[in-house]
Amino acid sequence: MSIICISRHAVIASAASATLSVMPLLAYAEDGYDAPDDWPSPMAEHLQWSAAFDRLEYASPDKGNNALVWDFQAWYGSDVNRLYVKSEGENIQGDGEDAEFESLELLYSRLVADFWEFQAGMGYQGGVFSDDHEERVYGVLGFQGTAPYRIETDAALQFNEGGIVTASIELEHDVRLTQRWYLQPRSEIVVAANESEALGIGRGVNSLRIGLRARYEITRRFAPYVGMYWERQYGATADMQRVEDEEVENTGVVVGVKLMF
Amino acid sequence: MKGTTSTFSTSRRQLLKTSSALGLGAMALGMTPAWASPLGRAAAASRTVESGPEIALAIRREDRLVAGQRTRPITINGSSPGPMVRLKEGQEAVIRVTNLMDEPTSIHWHGIILPPEMDGVPGISFAGIAPGDTFTYRFPVTQSGTYWYHSHSGLQEQEGHAGPLIIDAATPDAFQYDREHVLLLTDWTFEDPKNVFRNLKTMEGYYNFQERTVADFFADVRRNGLQDTVEARSMWAEMRMSSRDISDVTGSTYTYLLNGNAPDENWTGLFRRGETVRLRVINGSAMSYFDLRIPGLKMTVVAADGQPVQPVPVDEFRIGVAEAYDVLVTPEDDKAYTIFAEAMDRSGYARATLAPRMGMQANIPARRDIADRGMEAMGAHGGMNHSKMAGMDSSKMAGMDHSKMAGMDHSKMAGMDHSRMAGMDHSKMAGIQGEALAAGMLAAGAVQPGARYDQAGIGLDQQQRRVLVYQDLKALAPWPDQRPPQREMELHLTGNMERYMWSFDGKKFSEVNGPIHFNKDERLRLILINDTMMEHPIHLHGMWMELENGHGEMIPRKHTLNVKPGERVSALITADAEGSWAFHCHLLYHMDAGMFRVVKVS
């Protein structure tokens, strides 16, 4: 400390020359002004993180078994560059099978416009703890952000083995009823460029899911909700579902909670 | 409990008339005032005033009660906010600051003109004060007035590391008063400030519980009709922004404190009927603008940012973060008066009482409703899109005579990276600019097109009350440097609200590769253009900014300039302080997010 405690006379004589004479080892700092190397940056950028279950819900469909469903997202990084982990999946109750990751993705994300991030990475589909479910690994390219009118958007292409390309678009919007009550319509559409019987993917629109949830924010971090949804499979995808004797159209109610950590 | 918070007050029974009649006026005015706290009396008061020239301050983290709740703020000599540091113009201040925390700290003397290595900004002025170390600040006190001090390390300021800094004038003040009280406004949160910052990064509206709802929509339809309402709302929705985005951090987490006391604790300052009381109001909060009024009392503004101004009688004034105003009040009645400092977004308030005796109180006014931001903020939205901005800017500048600008394209200038200009030969630059600008530049002190100095700001009704505006501020006497500006420098205040990124000219501090350069001893016009829809209190260390509010040679000088959304504000600067200085937005989390630059004068 003492090296920078200079006397009044030195200050009066010339602050600059005094500074130079009493401060050894002046380095040309990265920021372009004179500061010794061991000084901290006046304003360091800190990496941040976020983790949230956008949906963690118990779904009770009209037809079929109840299921525990999750939609999780976390990121770590700077304002511009971030690493994302995203996962959606379900555990169908009473089917004797393990929970399934419909998607578990690790993405690099870069802010490319004020409201948009470009994301790329790898995804995995399959059992959480076992090989109860068919596994696949795929590449992901997408954009996540907020469209005009505050429509939260997550649009991505999935590149599967054998050149099978699918696209998914998730849209969400919060209607603020009061400062605590929110109504959230959401939709999810899956489209495929080509067909794969193995993956249960037909060409064209595969499925459409529409939901409406009413959420009460007890705090920003803890917001229980109730809601309902309607979903339907289309075209060849629906045909494949029929062959498997599964429903192509269903509705259901959900009870869940939005959690932010 | 009261002993843990600071009470800044002084009774300055000057008996002016009598003493001057006896020929003792100068002596009375020049005496060190006798201190008296209206609450704590001797014990508490002695702990809350530290008088110069030699002062020792110890920084600790200690258990204290804030708003009646046990918490762990940063204390300075045992109190949080810290004690009043009282200096006298002409003194050589020697302030030893000892860090008894387990993290580095610092003290910046806000608004004080001093040598650069005494300015207290880690990384620019010095290395900071390491745990266990003592740093001795030594500087000649060359000014007087109402200032404050605070940590410039991380987010410590939010944790109570701040206090008032009062400098008594060597010569009598231009105004007379019988008593003075310091009113230090702060915003306290029981959350870890790092979490506050993370919450803002995760969700910009995290603390806003006054957003528009469906009910507001229908209320607007009734008032303004369906078409207008839909049009207005869809504009905001299309921009993905909230017209209720007034403050980033609100009363949902903040307890607004006045001299360390929560509204319920009702800090009280005493007066005697008919006395003129000087209130030294300092906004030492991290993020909160306040609108202050004392129902039943007219206030006369006599100083802004510590510097004397011609008296302005007002009913209310807005005080931006880090600003200071001195006002005189003369309560004539034997009753209590509420000092009501409402947060700009109306999410809470700080409150105190002026009373003839302890234990009295007056009505607390109702809070006003939050205002919606209007067109001027929307105009500023261009700032979110930098390509649009350039276009907007030049249209605004139409008010200036472009033809006279000797072929200089100002819109391109704005796009230029000033930091890169460091590599150019500056002496030549100055010459070129000087010539070009001399032809087209506005006269010194003239108002820039795009300034709104006649407006008090969002949520203030100038019809209802006389509210202070920047246009009201006039210096008592011309400042020493009356040269016209030799050079103009434009700086845009920019941000991405969605990501909570804040910057100058679209670049965060971490993204710039050089300081802003001021030529030693030049007379510079700094033009600040707010491209965001938030207010920003812009603070320059080491040098005054003379606000060009149209009063020619009587323009006022300030250390912190509030720039409203979409506004274009200019200040004249005499770059006489050789060295490196901090220049930043004084909203703590904006600064931490990168709205910060180094200014190098050489």
> Residue B227: how many CB atoms within 10 A of its CB?
9
- Which of B92, B198, B577 lies at the smallest CB-CB distance from A8? B92
At A3, the pLDDT band (50, 70, 90 cuts) reads very low
Contact B582 A15 (CB under 8 A): no
Q: How far is B115 from chain A (nearest CA, A)?
A: 7
At A197, the pLDDT band (50, 70, 90 cuts) reads confident
Contact B138 A5 (CB under 8 A): yes
Closest residue, chain B, to A174 (C-alpha) = B213
Q: How far is B299 from chain A (nearest CA, A)?
A: 37
- Chain B hits for A42, CB-CB cut-off 8 Å, are 121-124, 152, 509, 582, 596, 598
Contact A39 B126 (CB under 8 A): yes
At A125, the pLDDT band (50, 70, 90 cuts) reads very high
> Residue B32: how many CB atoms within 10 A of its CB?
9
Q: Which of A118, A114, A223, A219 is nearest to B199 (CA)?
A: A219
Q: What is the residue whose two structure tokens read 């002993």?
A: B3
- Chain A hits for B199, CB-CB cut-off 8 Å, are 220
Q: What is the DSSP string of A187-204?
A: EEEEEESS-BTTTTB-SE
- Chain B hits for A146, CB-CB cut-off 8 Å, are 240, 498
Contact A220 B199 (CB under 8 A): yes
Mutate: best of A31, A177, A219, partner B, most B CBs <10 A: A31
Q: Tell me what the pLDDT averaged over chain B comes to.
A: 85
Q: What is the mean pLDDT of residues B88-105?
A: 97
Contact B325, B291 (CB under 8 A): no
- Chain B hits for A8, CB-CB cut-off 8 Å, are 92, 138, 140
Contact B489, B418 (CB under 8 A): yes
Closest residue, chain B, to A111 (C-alpha) = B499
Q: Given a cut of 70, is residue B45 above it in pLDDT?
A: no
**What was the pLDDT predicted at A37?**
82
- Chain A hits for B345, CB-CB cut-off 8 Å, are none
Contact B513 A146 (CB under 8 A): no
Which of these ranges, A46-60, A217-231, B435-449, has the smallest mean pLDDT?
B435-449
Closest residue, chain B, to A11 (C-alpha) = B115
Tell me, what DSSP letter sits at residue B571? E
Contact A176 B240 (CB under 8 A): no
- Chain A hits for B124, CB-CB cut-off 8 Å, are 33, 35, 42
Q: Is the model more confident about B511 or about B393?
A: B511
Contact A5 B135 (CB under 8 A): yes
What is the domain-level CATH number for residue A241? Answer: 2.40.160.40
Contact A15 B115 (CB under 8 A): yes
Contact A35, A27 (CB under 8 A): yes
Same domain, A27 and A89: no
- pLDDT, tens digit, 9 for 90 and up, residues B187-237: 999 999 999 999 999 998 999 999 999 999 999 999 999 998 998 888 888
**What was the pLDDT predicted at B155?**
97
State what percent of residues in chain A have pLDDT above 90. Answer: 65
- Chain B hits for A32, CB-CB cut-off 8 Å, are 419, 422, 513-515, 598, 600
Same domain, A4 and A61: no
Same domain, A68 and A37: no
Q: Which amino acid is at B521?
A: D
- Chain A hits for B386, CB-CB cut-off 8 Å, are none
Q: What is the mean pLDDT of residues B554-562?
A: 98
Same domain, A83 and A3: no
Contact A84, A49 (CB under 8 A): no
Contact A48 B201 (CB under 8 A): yes
Q: What is the mean pLDDT of residues B583-601?
A: 96
At A44, the pLDDT band (50, 70, 90 cuts) reads confident
- Which of B117, B121, B128 lies at the smallest CB-CB distance from A19? B117
Tell me, what DSSP letter sits at residue A90? E
Long-range contacts of A183-191 (CB under 8 A, 24+ apart): A183/A212, A183/A213, A183/A214, A183/A215, A184/A211, A184/A212, A184/A213, A184/A214, A184/A215, A184/A225, A184/A227, A185/A210, A185/A211, A185/A212, A186/A210, A186/A211, A186/A212, A186/A213, A187/A211, A190/A166, A191/A166, A191/A167
**What was the pLDDT predicted at B116?**
96
Same domain, A78 and A113: yes
Q: Is the model more confident about B508 or about A243?
A: B508
Closest residue, chain A, to B383 (C-alpha) = A114
Closest residue, chain B, to A117 (C-alpha) = B499
Tell me the CA end-to-end span of chain B in Å, nearest whole number: 50
- Which of B152, B234, B499 lies at the smallest CB-CB distance from A111? B499
Contact B117 A1 (CB under 8 A): no
- Which of B198, B212, B422 lies at the smallest CB-CB distance from A32? B422
Domains of chain B with CATH codes: 2-173 (2.60.40.420), 376-601 (2.60.40.420)
Contact B202 A260 (CB under 8 A): yes
- Which of A42, A49, A50 lies at the smallest CB-CB distance from B121? A42
- Chain B hits for A144, CB-CB cut-off 8 Å, are none
- Chain B hits for A6, CB-CB cut-off 8 Å, are 115, 117, 138
Same domain, A61 and A108: yes
Q: Given a cut of 80, is residue B256 above it in pLDDT?
A: yes
Same domain, A70 and A192: yes
At A129, the pLDDT band (50, 70, 90 cuts) reads confident
Q: Is the model more confident about A15 or about B125?
A: B125
**What was the pLDDT predicted at A239?**
87
Q: Tell me what the pLDDT averaged over chain A comes to.
A: 86
Same domain, A204 and A92: yes
Mutate: best of B201, B503, B521, partner A, most A CBs <10 A: B201
**What was the pLDDT predicted at A8?**
36
- Which of A6, A45, A149 lies at the smallest CB-CB distance from B237? A149
- pLDDT, tens digit, 9 for 90 and up, residues A23-38: 333 334 445 567 888 8
**What was the pLDDT predicted at A224?**
98
Same domain, A24 and A58: no
- Chain A hits for B136, CB-CB cut-off 8 Å, are 1, 5
Query: What is the extent of the structural domain holding A30?
Result: 1-44
Contact B151, B161 (CB under 8 A): yes
Q: How far is A5 from chain B (nearest CA, A)?
A: 7
Closest residue, chain B, to A28 (C-alpha) = B514
**What was the pLDDT predicted at B9?**
56
Contact A160, A138 (CB under 8 A): yes
- Chain A hits for B578, CB-CB cut-off 8 Å, are 15-16
Same domain, A9 and A104: no
**What was the pLDDT predicted at B11?**
52
Q: What is the mean pLDDT of residues B399-427?
A: 37
Which of these ranges, A249-258, B8-17, B156-165, B481-490, has the smallest mean pLDDT?
B8-17
**Whole-number Cα distances in Å, A46 to B196, B201, B592:** 13, 11, 9
Same domain, A144 and A82: yes
Quote the CA–CA distance of B281 and B182 in Å, as a whole number: 6
- Chain A hits for B203, CB-CB cut-off 8 Å, are 220, 260
Q: Given a cut of 50, is residue B3 above it in pLDDT?
A: no
Contact B116 A15 (CB under 8 A): yes
Tell me the CA end-to-end span of chain A in Å, nearest whole number: 41
- Which of A5, A33, A260 lies at the smallest CB-CB distance from B598? A33
- pLDDT, tens digit, 9 for 90 and up, residues B479-496: 999 999 999 999 999 999
B355 Cβ contact partners less than 8 Å away, ≥ 6 residues apart: B268, B269, B270, B271, B335, B336, B337, B361
Q: Which of A78, A74, A81, A76 is nearest to A104 (CA)?
A: A74
**Whole-number Cα distances in Å, A128 to A90, B147, B262:** 10, 61, 52
Closest residue, chain A, to B599 (C-alpha) = A33
Contact A150 B215 (CB under 8 A): no
Quote the CA–CA distance of B84 and A51 in Å, as a whole number: 43
**What was the pLDDT predicted at A11?**
35
Q: What is the mean pLDDT of residues A169-191?
A: 96
A58 Cβ contact partners less than 8 Å away, ≥ 6 residues apart: A66, A67, A68, A69, A254, A255, A256
* Structural domain total, chain A: 2
Mutate: best of B190, B253, B388, B499, partner A, most A CBs <10 A: B499
pTM of the model: 0.85
- Which of A12, A34, A49 lies at the smallest CB-CB distance from B580? A34
Strand B536-540 and strand B501-504: the pairing is: unpaired
Same domain, A30 and A61: no
Q: Is the model more confident about B59 or about B390?
A: B59
Q: How far is B454 from chain A (nearest CA, A)?
A: 32
Q: Which of A245, A243, A256, A150 is nearest to A212 (CA)?
A: A256
State what percent of residues in chain B have pLDDT above 70. Answer: 81
At B82, the pLDDT band (50, 70, 90 cuts) reads very high
Q: Given a cut of 60, is residue B561 above it in pLDDT?
A: yes
